Structure 1
């Protein structure tokens, strides 16, 4: 508190106790702090850099022009691709209809990074609480405390975003590679609109500053940061409604129902919904499912804690149950980004299974209809679609790693903040392995059912589209009667019934299990690293005053 008080005296009465805080005073108060505060500032800046890079990459793909299909003026009834994107080697960048998926995958990477920034903001929270409480007791108003709490986080994120823009410009030069035929591997020839660049540079610090203010709300309410909480009942399972709503919105049958109810006639014009309506409904469905899974972790934590308190035997289970019931929303805060990545990954694996079933159905159909090959109606370039799924899973892997880093920061911060409590328990005879067991089960007890919920919800999104592939079943076909004929021109044809192929879409249990194993392995590494912090935080020296 002495550092805060001396800073207040240097700022003067007009700098702090007046209606408006001077900019110089705000900067000095925002940068005040100890070594932990500087570490938090550095980690927040790195998080802002990574988030800005992901958003700049997504904006770059959005800046590509051309690639959409337009009517061919030379021929009636045919279409050609509009020029402007033919210089790229990847079809994911060439075709306008595929670029939104790339943009979504890149924007997905920004979510766990922003969650990591939120965890970094919590680093050294007790010391910062005392510092801001000292400023409040010295005469700062709640509004001035809001400025200080938000400015120190926003300034670090702004620095990271600006550095991220610099790194982005350097990467455009370093990654400017071409294929042997002269096509670009990445869109290094385009830049986002200046307004988009300015928006990203402003969005990252605005979100980080908002998180900083939200996390410091207790100090803003009372200078001493004392908030009495009495939990009479736990969270309710209402997030399950969000999951069901998301599945309904994602299903194409919902749009068909709107047409059958003639709701489209209310739209002025030609009586049809806008072209972007299906994509908007599917995006809203994914968002609802992710929110339902993340928020539902609070109810899962409280329920698991209540079961451990009722049926647990031994200090580990009882202490774990008490901690889960006391703060059930801890799982939603710390595991939210990881669970969101798992939902997206499960949906991508379900889509890959759907693609495999479709290709298998067409292969079966073509073998029956045309043993000589050259079947009709089969999707082209299956490897291209599989490559898109692999890109999505690469994004999910990076998101899982970043989310695990955020959990590690929160895990270590929680141990350091309670180091004197842990040291006192160790001094009173509680074994370290008991404390380690409490921390382990406090993480994994709600994680296991929440992870299962995320896997089921993500896979169910794709299952709402279709559960089987149907090919054929149309009018009779004329096929070659002699497969050994020298060519198709001399082949004698015969008329057969069009075969009807039904191929069920399998549930990728094996791949979903691998995704779950990867998430659990990452969390096990996080807990293992946290145990090292626990060992140093339970030394008896932590009981010393000062």
Structure 2
């Protein structure tokens, strides 16, 4: 098959295919913008140290996250993490209208296409949509860079609009994201056989998933807790430091991965309990769906649970900083000074909370696409149930049961894992003994070096220790917001239920 014909077939399709391509391109554009922002932060040059100025700060920025070199890596890492829910949204968008696309691919096989050509066609369809999205993202980035370049009255910038990453790095993002999307499509199709009679899978799951995700969470949290004290010891040799870093990174990743994949076991177990104890049609329908495809919840909730886990960790970090600020105020009161700790860290956590909120909203958009895709994909089954006398309200309530019941324990699990990881990472709040110089005279006498010493006294503050409180209020707000996002997406998805239950859908091909 010639490349021109392959490209023409990849861009062909119905209105559903057009919507899928546009949504995939939109997700790719968001992911590219996050990657461009991270590259821009990393491209900020660090000025050399001089005899007059030993602090190597970039004073042209008003934000300390950009001004201080030691904070730019964490800022870039946070921007990269925003790509996780965006890529999950792209994965959900790529599944939109999957039955119709499967029938189109089967028709191509009937016309003489080989299985490899069909796979390359699906890869090209996703890759072209991703390339269109990354090019649009690059254009938006370059235009926004010019529009947002507004120095304040002191000549400082709020954003690094004076820095442009290397052209090779930008090209790598523009080309790399569509390439990764195409390879991911091929990976997902490895167990799929496209025949002239339809699309089937090589192997079907005969039994529900086991509780292995719980073991992964326990092992991950244990490795995280064991690695952190080793890293804090200054007398540890280099190899042990590398081992501790590996335990921390691998443990945290394993705990988050276990939280996401544990939704499959939660969905299957919830379906079994509903089938055993439910007495009404709606929960029984939801039980059958949860047991038949328990991994659907894991796919749909993946980005949302990852965002909730990071949000719970940020809430634990905020509680730690609040406790340290309280201890600093306590020490300063003993010294006769009314002041607290540096508010920079609390302000930074506010930015992290904003990023988590954006991630939850993006994950909710992906969940909405998953709900709509599920309704549209099963429209013939819903139409058959409606034709046999099942009310549409019963089908609607079954969708609500199917989405909410696995979401509640999954969100609680994500909140717990995030809070435990934050507690293990930061531990208790401690401040050692400190000495403070206090001037008891007026401002004029204290400002004069000749008279300041005779009015100055040295005060000593003892060491203080406190255990940070569990941020129940923040965790409840985060969990409630995530559950509200799930309910909102389900309610919006129910708008597609009425047209999908029309009797005419029984004749859909």
- Whether the TM-score (by the shorter chain) exceeds 0.5 is yes
Which residue of the partner structure matches residue 153 of structure 2?
Answer: 180
Paired residues of 1:290 and 1:343 also in contact (CA < 8 A): yes
Deviations 1:246-276 (A, max 9, x none): 334544x5254479899836x4xxxx847xx
TM-score (norm 1): 0.85
**How has the CA–CA distance of structure 1 residues 500 and 422 changed in structure 2, closer, same or farther, with 3 Å as cutoff?**
same
Give 1:478 deviation, angstroms.
Answer: 9.2
| Number of matched pairs | 502
**d(CA) in 1 for partners of 2:4, 2:459:** 88
Which residue of the partner structure matches residue 65 of structure 1?
Answer: 45
Counterpart mapping for 1:210-229 below 5 A? 210-217=183-190, 219-220=192-193, 222-223=195-196, 224-227=198-201
**d(CA) in 2 for partners of 1:152, 1:481:** 72
Paired residues of 2:308 and 2:414 also in contact (CA < 8 A): yes
Paired residues of 2:231 and 2:245 also in contact (CA < 8 A): no
Which residue of the partner structure matches residue 239 of structure 1?
Answer: 213
**d(CA) in 2 for partners of 1:128, 1:144:** 15
Which residue of the partner structure matches residue 532 of structure 1?
Answer: 495
SS at match of 2:405: helix
Which residue of the partner structure matches residue 436 of structure 1?
Answer: 396
Structure 2 gap ranges (5+): 447-451
TM-score (norm 2): 0.90
SS at match of 1:465: helix
SS at match of 2:70: coil
Structure 1 gap ranges (5+): 1-14, 16-21
Deviations 1:224-253 (A, max 9, x none): 2133755443212222233234334544x5
SS at match of 2:464: strand
Which residue of the partner structure matches residue 6 of structure 1?
Answer: none
Paired residues of 1:400 and 1:519 also in contact (CA < 8 A): yes
Give 1:472 deviation, angstroms.
Answer: 3.6
Give 1:141 deviation, angstroms.
Answer: 2.2
Give 1:545 deviation, angstroms.
Answer: 5.1
**d(CA) in 1 for partners of 2:62, 2:169:** 25
Counterpart mapping for 1:16-165 below 5 A? 22-66=2-46, 80-82=54-56, 85-165=58-138
**d(CA) in 2 for partners of 1:427, 1:509:** 48
Give 1:288 deviation, angstroms.
Answer: 2.3
Give 1:543 deviation, angstroms.
Answer: 2.5
Q: Which of 489, 492, 517 does residue 453 from structure 2 map onto? A: 489
Paired residues of 2:228 and 2:425 also in contact (CA < 8 A): no
Q: Does 1:371 align with 2:318?
A: no
**RMSD over aligned Cα atoms:** 2.9
By percentage of residues, which structure has more helix?
2
Counterpart mapping for 1:354-433 below 5 A? 354-368=320-334, 370-372=335-337, 379=341, 381-382=342-343, 384-433=344-393
Which residue of the partner structure matches residue 449 of structure 2?
Answer: none
Give 1:405 deviation, angstroms.
Answer: 0.9
Give 1:155 deviation, angstroms.
Answer: 0.5
Paired residues of 2:216 and 2:254 also in contact (CA < 8 A): yes
Paired residues of 1:67 and 1:94 also in contact (CA < 8 A): no
Paired residues of 2:230 and 2:244 also in contact (CA < 8 A): no
SS at match of 2:59: coil
**d(CA) in 2 for partners of 1:340, 1:427:** 40
